[in-house]
Amino acid sequence: MNLLLLAALMVYLVGAFYAVLLFALRREAADRPLLMLLGAGFAAHTASIAVEWAQVGHFPIVNPKEVSSFIGWAIVAYFLVIRWRTRVRALATFVLPLVFLFTLVSLLLPEPAISPALAGAIDASTFTRVIFPLHVTLILFSYAAFFLTFIGGIMYLMQERELKAKTFGAVFYRLPALNTCDELGYRSQTIGFVLLTLGMITGIIWNNQRDGRFWHYDPKEVLALTTWFVYLFMMHYRLTAGWRGKRIAWLSVIGFVVVLCTWIGARYLPGYHVFG
C-alpha cells in the first residue's frame, strides 16, 4: 500500500469534515487552518505520485487506479489556484469530498497487469513517451477545471432558487453572490476548454506517432469531440449572445454530465483507447 497516498487520504478526510463544519457554522475567518491542512495533503499526494512514477517506470496515469489518484490530485491543485485567486470559501465544501472519494478509489483498486497496448506505449519512441503523458495530463486537468465549472453552476442555481423564493435561508448566507458564481464558472470553463483543446491536439499527434493515423472513430475520441463542442457552444453564445446566469449554469451541469460519459462511460465500450 502507498503510505503517502494513505496519509493524503486521511488529510483529505479531515479537511472534508472541517470544510463542512465551517460551512455549517459560517466561520469564514477559520479557513486558514483548512488551507494549510489541504496543502499538507497535496504535498503528500504529490510525493506519492513521484514515488509511484519511480517504482513503475512510467508516468502513473495509464490505468484506473493511477488515473483516480491523479484526477484527485489535479482537482486539489486547480482548487488551490482558484481559491487563491477568487477567495470563494464555500468551494472546499463541494470539492474535498470528491477528492477524498477519488483518492479512496485509487487505494482500493487492485494493481492491474500491463496490457500489450500499454506496453507498446511505454516502449515506444522517446517523443511518444513524452507526448502521451502530456496528452493525458492536459485532459485530466481540463476535467478538473470543468468540475469547478460544474460547482460554480450548482452554487449559482442554489443561490438563484433562494433569491427567487425570497427565503434567504442558511445556504444563501454561506454561498457566494450570483456574479461570483457566474464568474467562477466562466473562468474555469475557459481554462478547461483551452486544456481540453490542447489535450485533443496532443492526442491526435500521439495517434499518428503510434500507428500513422490521426483519427480512429474510437468511442472516447468521439465523446471527447462531443464534449469539446458542448463547451464551444457555451462559450460562443456567452460571448456573442450574452448568455449568463441560470441558462449557463444549467449548461455547465449538462456539460459535466458529458464529461463523465467521456471519462467513465467510454471505458466500457470497445475501441482504440484500451487504457487510461
- What is the full per-residue pLDDT of the chain (276 aa) written as tens digits? 588 999 999 999 999 998 888 887 766 556 778 888 899 999 999 999 999 888 887 788 878 888 899 999 999 999 998 887 777 778 888 999 999 999 999 999 887 665 555 555 555 555 566 788 888 899 999 999 999 999 999 989 988 887 777 766 666 667 888 888 888 888 999 999 999 999 999 988 887 777 777 776 777 788 888 999 999 999 888 888 777 888 889 999 999 998 888 877 666 666 555 554
CA distance 76 to 11: 12
Residues 218 and 169 in one domain: yes
The answer on 130 and 106 residing in a single domain is: no
Domain boundary, last residue among 112, 147, 168: 112
pTM of the predicted model, to two decimals?
0.87
Segments forming the whole domain that contains residue 222:
119-276
H/E stretch holding 261 reads: helix 245-263
- In angstroms, the CA 26 to CA 234 distance is 33
Nearest-angstrom CA–CA distance, 248 and 182: 8
pLDDT at site 14? 93
Q: What is the pLDDT of residue 116?
A: 55
Residue 167 CB burial class (10 angstroms; 0-12, 13-18, ≥19):
exposed
Is there a single domain that holds both residue 95 and residue 131? Answer: no
Question: Do residues 124 and 161 share a domain?
Answer: yes
Verify that 103 and 124 share a domain, yes or no. Answer: no
Give the pLDDT of residue 192.
94
Do 4 and 45 contact (CB within 8 A), yes or no? yes
212 burial (CB, 10 Å; 0-12 / 13-18 / 19+) is exposed
pLDDT of residue 231: 92
pLDDT value of position 168? 66
Helices 126-165 and 178-211, interaxial angle, to 10°?
160
Residues 31, 145 share a domain: no
**Looking at 112, 128, 147, which one is the last position of a domain?**
112
**Is residue 99 located within the same domain as residue 191?**
no
CA 84 – CA 68 distance, rounded (Å): 25
Q: Are residues 98 and 193 in the same domain?
A: no
Q: Are residues 107 and 130 in the same domain?
A: no
How many folded domains does the chain comprise?
A: 2
Same domain, 274 and 183: yes
> Do 157 and 87 lie in a common domain?
no
- Residue 30 sits in a domain whose CATH number is 1.20.120
Rounded Cα distance, 265 and 263, in Å? 6
Q: Which of 56, 85, 112 is the last residue of a domain?
A: 112
Residues in the chain: 276
Residues 235 and 183 grouped into a single domain: yes
